[in-house]
Structure 1
Amino acid sequence: MDKQIFTLTRTNRRFVAETIRDSPDGHMVIVSEPTRTLDQNALLWPLLTEVSRQVVWYGRKLSQNQWKSFFTAALFGMDVVPNMDGTGFVALGERTSTMSKKKFSELIELIFAFGAERNVRFAAPKDQYLARV
């Protein structure tokens, strides 16, 4: 059987249950919250762009990806481990592609709050951004 992914709805629950019942032993079933949407992800990058253009963090201009790591670590924590040759460290954090919609919304809210504290001017007001997702 090929991999099948279902978004549960009131109308398909019976079909999903039958599919599970008819699956061979050893197959896996994972039930989880939906991950972030493409619209949410599309919102993230313009916000990171504006922060990277307008904020200097302790004398440094950070890239969009660095800000993304910064915000995800601030919200969800991170682990720092030695690099392969022992000459430095690598920060391990949560990937945004695996975040639930709720966690991703918290990330977006954190970026807006951080921007407001530092007078970041986003291209559109917060409510216009959030209306898209």
Structure 2
Amino acid sequence: MVTKQTYQLRNEQILSNAINHLRNTPLNPDKPFIVTIQERTRSLEQNARLWATLSDISEQVNWHGRKLTTEQWKHIFTAALTKQDVVPNLAGDGFVVLGQSTSKMTVGELSNLIELINAFGAEQGVRFSDESRLAIEWANRWGESNKLKQVA
């Protein structure tokens, strides 16, 4: 029985290990294996930064006369970033956004989302919390994203 293996291809040695593992995997046409190569999804630090900035937006911005939850703001920003589609809901009295989950976003996609949220917050005069500012400073210091803007 072959167990699931995941490799983060950061250097030649890890790449070599992954290739060797593939070469030693038994082939069985009745039970084929699937190999997927993809960019790493969001980091825990990015996730924390996302929710800190969404919380600041949620607490400080009225959107067309309404206060929205962090989850609702997340839907608005992901829809704006990915040009998502909307369809009528089942009752016919509203709409549903056909969205993308942030948990499946790559590091680069989530960096772009956080950049969009920060730009919107700056336009709306949001004063970002220490948690949000520290998360942005951390990203800038460690080079996770050179696009994020520090908002005072």
TM-score, normalization by structure 2: 0.80
- Is the CA contact 1:112–1:126 (under 8 Å) kept in the aligned structure 2? no
Q: CA deviation at 1:27?
A: 0.7
Q: What is the 5 A alignment of 1:1-133?
A: 1-10=2-11, 11-25=13-27, 26-124=32-130, 128-133=134-139
> Quick one: higher RCO (CA 8 Å, sep 6+), 1 or 2?
1
Q: CA deviation at 1:124?
A: 2.9
- Is the CA contact 2:53–2:132 (under 8 Å) kept in the aligned structure 1? no
Offset from partner CA, 1:21-76 (integer Å, 9 cap, x none): 22233211111111110110011111111100110011111100000000000111
SS in 2 for 1:132: helix
Distance (Å, rounded) in 2 between the aligned partners of 1:22 and 1:84: 50
Distance (Å, rounded) in 2 between the aligned partners of 1:102 and 1:27: 28
Distance (Å, rounded) in 2 between the aligned partners of 1:45 and 1:126: 9
Shifted more, 9-18 versus 108-117: the winner is 9-18
Distance (Å, rounded) in 2 between the aligned partners of 1:70 and 1:88: 15
- Is the CA contact 2:84–2:98 (under 8 Å) kept in the aligned structure 1? yes
- Is the CA contact 1:52–1:64 (under 8 Å) kept in the aligned structure 2? yes
Q: CA deviation at 1:95?
A: 0.7
Distance (Å, rounded) in 2 between the aligned partners of 1:21 and 1:93: 38
Give the total of aligned pairs: 133
Query: Quick one: structure 1 residues 83 and 129, their matched pair in 2 at CA, closer, same or farther if it must change by over 3 Å?
Result: same
Q: CA deviation at 1:109?
A: 0.6
Shifted more, 31-40 versus 5-14: the winner is 5-14
Distance (Å, rounded) in 1 between the aligned partners of 2:26 and 2:89: 42
The unaligned stretches of length 5 or more in structure 1 are: none
TM-score, normalization by structure 1: 0.90
SS in 2 for 1:12: helix
